[in-house]
Amino acid sequence: MHESGSYDSYRLSQPGPNGWPVPSDPQAVPHPRTGTGFAVGPTIPIPAVSQAMDQSPALSPGEPHSGGSYSAGDIASAEETVSAGDRVSAEYTASADGRMSPAPRPHAPAGTPEKEVVVSRETEDPPLAQEAKRAVEILNPSGEITMPRPVRRRIICVANQKGGVGKTTTAVNIAVALALHGNRVLVIDLDPQGNASTGLNVPHHAGVPDVYDCLIEGAPLVDVTQPVDGIPNLSCIPATIDLAGAEIELVSVVARESRLARAIQACPVEYDYIFVDCPPSLGLLTVNALVAAQEVLIPIQCEYYALEGVQALTSNIALVRSHLNPTLDISTVLLTMYDRRTRLADLVEQDVRNHFGDKVLNAVIPRNVRVSEAPSYSQSVMTYDPGSRGAMSYFEAAQEIAERGARVREAGA
Ligand SMILES: Nc1ncnc2c1ncn2[C@@H]1O[C@H](COP(=O)(O)OP(=O)(O)OP(=O)(O)O)[C@@H](O)[C@H]1O
Ligand SMILES: [Mg+2]
């Protein structure tokens, strides 16, 4: 749910983006469970963000928008920081203004403006599976980098009650990177906003079987799991708008804190990784994720208030550990939206590394416009633009996570 309308109003030149409610949609049907509200029809492609932003007269730099705490001006300047010296594949070229963009495809006539290249991408892209293969070729050209499968299933809860710090982006991209390298991965979308479902292009309109059915109705996990198109080994349990009521409904349910844990324990499918994308709160949904998981991954945005909420999160984790899940461990901290031009980002990084020590991954995710564009194509940045700094950094983060899991195996062997 996008809390402010301002971003949507300049971002979309027409209503009806992927999975977002369209009350006047002729295909809207009454909600199957409640009989009220509406369900949204099939996915409607939305224009490239960059294209919509170019066309928008309403956009002014610094204007706030939903889901994040940076401005349109930041996006433009973040693009400017991408220099030709950055690690990008040969398939990406620097234009006169220093921006990195995909090399024109063979069908594009010489001198085709960048905007037209973006349009052709929408119409002539190869199938999703080929995109995934291309992603691996770009990210790992020699094939030398492996992401070893863990000896036993790792259940990782991606949590931070602060909103817009990159939880969903992290869960989606690390899951895709691991799956592209042979791991069997499940993403559980535990946020009623359904952003992880959107990012993985998994249907999550009202009426679709979802994680709500597992939590409240006790449905088996396999009944609500969907394969992710184009990424072998990757599945997703979507979240629909029904989940918005679960926080309250759970209060009166038996074993309310361990509903997700029980569902996962009863699941016969052998996953290497299960990532649970949490909502920005410390309510019962997040508690369910913490009880189900062995590990917590905390994404921390490199911003001034970044550490303020983390203390509340760590005390909650300590509570869950002492009462409900003694093996829970904060295994991983990931710095996100790092802006190397600011001294503040360095200071936050230092603070976080001093506080969490070697739990902090060496890989740091930069603020990168490709990362924020990818969900509007219902893709991860790994497949949307594998040569971008955002994709490269998530690839490195996934590799570190896999290697740490392998070290645990060696230590236990
Ligand atoms: N590295 C990045 N560079 C640029 N934009 C980013 C980056 N990471 C995330 N974003 C954008 O920031 C916004 C917030 O990210 P995301 O949805 O992943 O955060 P979240 O913590 O899951 O939010 P919520 O608390 O609402 O669930 C999104 O619009 C996303 O596209
Ligand atoms: Mg999220």
Q: Closest residue (by CA) to atom 12 of ligand 1? A: 68
**Residue 57: pLDDT over 60:** no
- Same domain membership, residue 263 and residue 321: yes
Atom 8 of ligand 1: nearest residue by CA position: 166
77 and 180 inside one domain: no
pLDDT-above-70 percentage for the chain: 67
Name which residue sits closest to atom 9 of ligand 1, judged by CA: 166
What is the pLDDT at residue 132? 75
Question: Are residue 312 and residue 391 in the same domain, yes or no?
Answer: yes
Note whether residue 138 is domain-resident. no
CATH number of the domain residue 357 falls in: 3.40.50.300
Does the residue 401 lie in any domain?
yes
Confidence of residue 285 (pLDDT cuts 50, 70, 90): very high
* Mean pLDDT, range 375-393, rounded to an integer: 93
Does residue 194's CB lie within 6 angstroms of at least one atom of ligand 1?
no
The more confidently predicted of residues 118 and 321 is: 321
* Residue 133: inside a domain: no
* Residue 394 resides in a domain: yes
pLDDT confidence of residue 123: 52
Task: Tell me the average pLDDT of the chain.
Answer: 76
Q: Is the pLDDT of residue 367 over 50?
A: yes
Residue 61 pLDDT grade (very low, low, confident, very high; cuts 50, 70, 90): very low
Same domain, 37 and 116: yes
In terms of domains, do 57 and 182 share one?
no
Does residue 344 contact residue 302 with C-beta atoms inside 8 Å?
yes
Q: Calculate the CA dihedral of residues 220, 221, 227, 233 and round it to 10 degrees.
A: -130
163 ligand 1 Cβ < 6 A: yes
* Closest listed ligand to the CA of 68: 1
- State the pLDDT at residue 408: 59
Q: What mean pLDDT comes out for the span 271-281? A: 97
Comparison of pLDDT for 172 and 255, the residue scoring more: 172
Do 67 and 375 form a contact (C-beta atoms < 8 A)?
no
Say how far apart CA 352 and CA 361 lie, in whole Å: 11
Task: Note the residue count of the chain.
Answer: 413
- Taking residues 191-212, report their average pLDDT: 95
212 lies in some domain: yes
Count of domains forming the chain:
2
Sequence-ordered list of residues with C-beta below 8 angstroms from that of 296, at least 6 positions apart, any chain: 156, 157, 158, 159, 290, 317, 328, 329, 330, 331, 332
Ligand 1 atom closest to the CA of 75, numbered from 1: 4
- State which residues form the domain around 285: 154-412
Residues 162, 39, single domain; the answer is: no
Nearest ligand to the C-alpha of residue 11? 1
pTM of the model: 0.72
CA of 193 to the centre of ligand 2 (A): 7
Give CA–CA dist 25/5, Å, rounded: 19
* Segment (H or E) for 336: strand 329-338
pLDDT(338) > 90: yes
For residues 384 and 131, give the distance between their C-alpha atoms in angstroms, rounded to a whole number. 8
Q: Which of 108, 126, 144 represents a domain boundary (last residue)?
A: 126
Neighbours of ion ligand 2 (CB under 5 A): 167-168, 195
pLDDT confidence bin for 191, thresholds 50/70/90: very high
Atom of ligand 1 at shortest range from CA of 279: 27
Q: Is 367 in the pocket of ligand 1 (CB under 6 A)?
A: yes
Regarding whether 305 and 158 lie in a shared domain, the answer is yes
173 and 109 in one domain? no
Q: Distance between terminal CA atoms of the chain?
A: 45
Residue 59 domain-assigned (yes or no): yes
- % of the chain residues with pLDDT over 90: 56
Atom index in ligand 1 nearest the CA of residue 375 equals 31
According to DSSP, residue 103 is labeled P
Tell me the average pLDDT across 174-195. Answer: 96
Mean pLDDT is highest, among 3-12, 75-84, 131-140, 245-254, for 245-254
Looking at the fold, whether 117 and 168 belong to one and the same domain comes out as no
Whether residues 322 and 386 fall in one domain: yes
For residues 232 and 90, state if they share a domain: no
Based on the domain organization, do 252 and 353 belong to the same domain? Answer: yes
* Alpha carbon distance 193, 386 (integer Å): 26
pLDDT at residue 72 in the model: 36
How far is 144 from 142, CA to CA, in rounded Å? 5
Which has more pLDDT, 67 or 242?
242
Quote the Cα angle for 87-387-123, to 5°. Answer: 155
State the average pLDDT over residues 256-278.
Answer: 96
**Residue owning tokens 């920005």:** 280
Ligand 1 centroid from CA 165, angstroms: 6
Contacts 24+ apart (CB under 8 A), 69-74: 69/164, 69/301, 69/303, 70/337, 70/367, 74/339, 74/367
In a domain, 135, yes or no: no
Answer whether residue 312 shows pLDDT above 90: no
- Angle, CA of 167, 168 and 169, to the nearest 5°: 95
Q: What share of the chain is helix, strand, coil (3-state, %, to 5)?
A: 45, 15, 45
User: Is the pLDDT confidence value at 71 over 60?
Assistant: no
SS3 94: strand
Query: Is any ligand 1 atom within 6 A of the Cβ of residue 167?
Result: yes
Beta carbon of 201 within 6 Å of any ligand 1 atom: no
Do the domain assignments include residue 189?
Answer: yes
Q: Is 44 exposed, middle or buried (0-12, 13-18, 19+ CB in 10 A)?
A: middle
Q: How confident is the model at residue 329 (pLDDT cuts 50, 70, 90)?
A: very high
